[in-house]
Amino acid sequence: MRPARTAIDAMPRSGIREVMDLARGRPGVLHLEVGEPDFQTPPHIVEAAARAVRDGHTKYTANAGTDALREAIAGKFARVNGLAVERDQVVVTHGAINALLTALMVLVEPGEGILVPDPGWPNYGMIATMLGARAVPYPLDASADYEPDLERLASLAATPGVKVLLVNSPGNPTGAVWSREALERVVEIAREHDLYVLSDEVYEEIVFEGEHVSPAVYDTDGRVLTVSAVSKTYAMTGWRIGYLAATSALAALAAKTQEAIVACPNSMAQAAAEAALTGPQDCVTEMCDAYRRRRDVAVAALSAAGLLINEPRGAFYILADVSRVTTDTDAFARSLVLDHGLAVAPGATFGPGGSRAVRLSLASPADVIEEGVARLAGATASGTIRGAVT
């Protein structure tokens, strides 16, 4: 039998999932590894889905999603992002991840390059691999609050074959919220080098300081594609509804790829997403306030333990500096699970830029975060770490 595709065989899994698998079912382990809100989906959203099922909305929808949801998403772009987007520019997808894959399938030929943040969400590199494309990392430095070095970015944008510049603000795992000026310049750089910008804005409504700005506000010629989802904003990760906004020509191509991948997003989950986007928004503010309080707890505890790198300004993650005890964060994260009852994401999974850190999720209650930091501090102090610097 001939082998399966070697690129997929060789593709590393996300280290976050590996830790999740190791920690699953182990009694007493504190879970700070996964980026999933611990809140329940608000009841009015759940009720909208139940109603949709009862009313018989249990069939395929159009590939690009229902008209009603696409209009609700266009309304959200006006309300939250200050963007004028028509319904035919919107494609509803199976979570943001499906929107990112679809966008990159439409834009990138095999062998072409995608500029991705380092540290950044590992799935960007996985998608590049699956498409036979190249992920070209651009470094984000803690000393600059994980904003890009714009000169460096401009020189990487000139790399032959690079076609897409991927932006993720607020960022995972950094918690960076890029400034208006930086984002304006990023779009300018893309224009100068004829790149598309793919902006992953899934954490757009989880901002503690600064403001969320969509790079598309600086778009003059349809080169910025915007991705978001209801997953993080409304505690709806399992419902799997994301979306993409682009020119109507690119959106039509994206909808065509959906036919081959998922046919359409789940119909009752679309009804739930519509209720989320058009219903009361106080749940969004309440959850964001809770994440802010947890961020403050984590900052204070990490700072006291001498492990703080910087204060996240958005999203729900914080990086802890473990470089004084390990150079192998994968082994260290495994040891934390097995020996210290703590599950966190190994920094190396986010690229070389994450290799001195582990990532803690703030999507857990404050007392769990406090106890988690205490266990991490204990582990870094005890020297009983497999994978430790010797």
Which spans of this chain sit near ligand PLP (rule: CB under 6 A)? 35, 95-97, 121, 168, 172, 200, 202, 229, 231, 237, 242
Least spacing, CB of residue 378 vs ligand PLP, in Å: 28
Between residues 100 and 342, which has the closer beta carbon with respect to ligand PLP? 100
Burial of 210 by CB count in 10 Å (0-12 exposed, 13-18 middle, 19+ buried)?
Answer: middle
In the complex, the smallest distance separating the C-beta of residue 173 from ligand PLP, rounded to whole angstroms, is 8
φ/ψ of residue 42, rounded to 5? -55, 145
For residue 47, the minimal CB distance to ligand PLP (Å) is 22
Nearer to ligand PLP, 168 or 266 (CB): 168
Structure tokens at 52: 């949709």
Closest approach of ligand PLP to the CB of residue 121, in Å: 4
Give residues with Cβ within 8 angstroms of 283, minimum separation 6: 42, 234
Minimum gap (Å) between residue 153 Cβ and ligand PLP: 18
Measured from the CB atom, the residue of 34 and 308 that comes closer to ligand PLP is 34
Judged by CB, which is closer to ligand PLP: 35, or 113? 35
Burial class (CB in 10 A: 0-12, 13-18, 19+), 311: middle
Beta carbon of residue 239, minimum distance to ligand PLP (angstroms, whole number): 9
CB 261 within 8 A of CB 233: no
Question: 257-287 b/e with 16+ CB inside 10 Å = b?
Answer: bbeeeeebbbbbbbbbbbbbbbbebebbeeb
Cα separation of 170 and 173, whole Å? 9
Query: Is residue 42 within 8 Å of 234, Cβ to Cβ?
Result: yes
Q: How far is the CB of 221 from ligand PLP (least distance, A)?
A: 25
Nearer to ligand PLP, 35 or 314 (CB): 35
Q: Which residue's beta carbon is nearest to the bound ligand PLP? A: 95
The span from the CA of 45 to the CA of 377, in Å, is 39
A 10 A CB-CB count for 367 gives 11
116 contacts 136 by C-beta, under 8 angstroms: yes
Q: Closest distance between ligand PLP and the C-beta of residue 137, in Å?
A: 15
Query: Residue 253: how many CA atoms within 13 Å on its side-chain side?
Result: 13
Closest to ligand PLP by CB, 196 or 326: 196
Cα 250 to Cα 230: distance, rounded to the nearest angstrom: 22
- The residue type of 291 is Y
Amino acid identity at 129: T
